[in-house]
């Protein structure tokens, strides 16, 4: 978050506090297109995207959302031009270093989810520090999916469970959803209730494949750098207007 004073913003009066999503997940898409439209290099879109994310985190905290997960870098994003990948890795590291103090003050618990071992070692160190120094915070849980892939996460969980079976520590009959969830990167954080994707693409793109089974989806044409509190307000209003049935029969 930036150094500007953090004045708590009230929840808009048309939203019901008791029907807010506990966990919001975001696919922050459209940074490159946003930059291109402004005649700027793609990386400027990512830089601007950080400000959008900081505003959303603050807004979630102010309005009472308990967890926010952002898709910052997918396992497929390594296929981007080397300069863009390098820029993003440096950006993550710099943002973490700059924002850690304020996030601690704001009682944010930071988590990174994904295959973190493949990230640059200096970034891994910053990630470890931020998670360690905020682990006891009781405010909003902010998860950053970095080098994250939903399929890879599921395969990794299967491998860990299979190994326990092989060692005779676990019987296959005892494998259930709750045990499986405990082997995912996201263990300990509830499933997302609302999944927002910007820039109009109607895809999950390998994000939270297990966890988003019953998430309400909200897709907006707005490009990520332009996603603001008003858009978030609209997404929450749309969420609150829906009936979540979880496969059961609704109030018809």
Which parts are annotated binding residues for substrate?
30-34, 42, 46, 74-76, 78, 80, 197, 203-205
Interface residue with ligand FPP, options 33, 104, 156, 183 (CB under 6 A) = 33
Interface residue with ligand FPP, options 32, 149, 150, 192 (CB under 6 A) = 32
In the complex, least distance from residue 165 CB atom to ligand FPP, rounded to whole angstroms: 36
The catalytic residue among 29, 147, 191, 193 is: 29
Reduced to 3 states (helix: H, G, I; strand: E, B; else coil), residue 139 is coil
Judging by DSSP bridges, how do beta strands 141-148 and 194-197 pair with one another? unpaired
For residue 151, the tally of other CB atoms under 10 A from its CB is 11
| Helix, strand, coil percentages, rounded to 5, for the chain | 45, 15, 40
In the complex, least distance from residue 32 CB atom to ligand FPP, rounded to whole angstroms: 3
31 forms part of the interface with ligand FPP (CB under 6 A): yes
The H or E element containing residue 144 is: strand 141-148
User: Is there a catalytic annotation at residue 29?
Assistant: yes
Cα dist from 124 to 69, 74, 130, 131, whole Å: 18, 16, 10, 11
In the complex, least distance from residue 136 CB atom to ligand FPP, rounded to whole angstroms: 21
238 forms part of the interface with ligand FPP (CB under 6 A): no
Q: Which two tokens stand for residue 223?
A: 């490009």
Closest to ligand FPP by CB, 147 vs 199, is 199
54 forms part of the interface with ligand FPP (CB under 6 A): no
The catalytic residue among 55, 62, 77, 206 is: 77
Q: Which two tokens stand for residue 94?
A: 């710099």
Site for ligand FPP in 56-85 (CB under 6 A): 70, 72, 77
Query: What is the distance between the alpha carbons of residues 85 and 23, in angstroms, rounded to a whole number?
Result: 28
103 forms part of the interface with ligand FPP (CB under 6 A): no
> How many C-alpha atoms does 170 have within 13 Å on its Cβ side?
16
User: Is there a catalytic annotation at residue 77?
Assistant: yes
109 forms part of the interface with ligand FPP (CB under 6 A): no
**Nearest 5 degrees, angle CA 66-CA 105-CA 119?**
75
Q: How many residues bind ligand FPP (CB under 6 A)?
A: 18
Q: Which two tokens stand for residue 34?
A: 């946003």
Closest to ligand FPP by CB, 81 vs 250, is 81
Query: What is the distance between the alpha carbons of residues 103 and 124, in angstroms, rounded to a whole number?
Result: 18
| Residues known to be catalytic | 29, 77
Q: Which residues bind ligand FPP (CB under 6 A)?
A: 28-33, 46, 49-50, 53, 70, 72, 77, 91-92, 95, 144, 199
């Amino acid at each position: 978050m930036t150094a500007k004073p953090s004045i708590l913003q009230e929840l808009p009066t048309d939203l019901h506090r008791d029907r807010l999503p506990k966990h919001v997940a975001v696919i922050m898409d459209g940074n490159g297109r946003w930059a291109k439209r402004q005649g700027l290099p793609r990386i400027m879109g990512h830089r601007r995207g950080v400000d959008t994310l900081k505003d959303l985190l603050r807004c979630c905290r102010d309005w009472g959302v308990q967890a926010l997960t952002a898709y910052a870098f997918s396992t497929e994003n390594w296929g981007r031009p080397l300069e863009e990948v390098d820029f993003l890795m440096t950006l993550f590291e710099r943002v973490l270093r700059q924002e850690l103090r304020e996030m601690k003050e704001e009682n944010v618990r930071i988590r990174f989810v994904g295959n973190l071992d493949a990230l640059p070692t200096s970034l891994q160190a910053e990630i470890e520090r931020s998670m360690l120094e905020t682990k006891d915070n009781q405010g909003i849980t902010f998860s950053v999916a970095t080098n994250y892939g939903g399929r890879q996460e599921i395969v990794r969980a299967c491998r860990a469970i299979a190994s326990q079976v092989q060692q005779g520590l676990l019987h296959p009959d005892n494998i259930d959803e709750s045990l499986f969830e405990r082997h995912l990167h996201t263990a300990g954080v509830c499933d997302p209730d609302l999944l927002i994707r910007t820039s109009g693409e109607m895809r999950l793109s390998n994000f939270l494949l297990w966890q988003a089974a019953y998430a309400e989806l909200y897709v907006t044409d707005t490009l990520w750098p332009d996603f603001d509190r008003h858009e978030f307000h609209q997404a929450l209003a749309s969420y609150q207007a829906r009936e979540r049935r979880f496969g059961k029969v609704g109030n018809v």
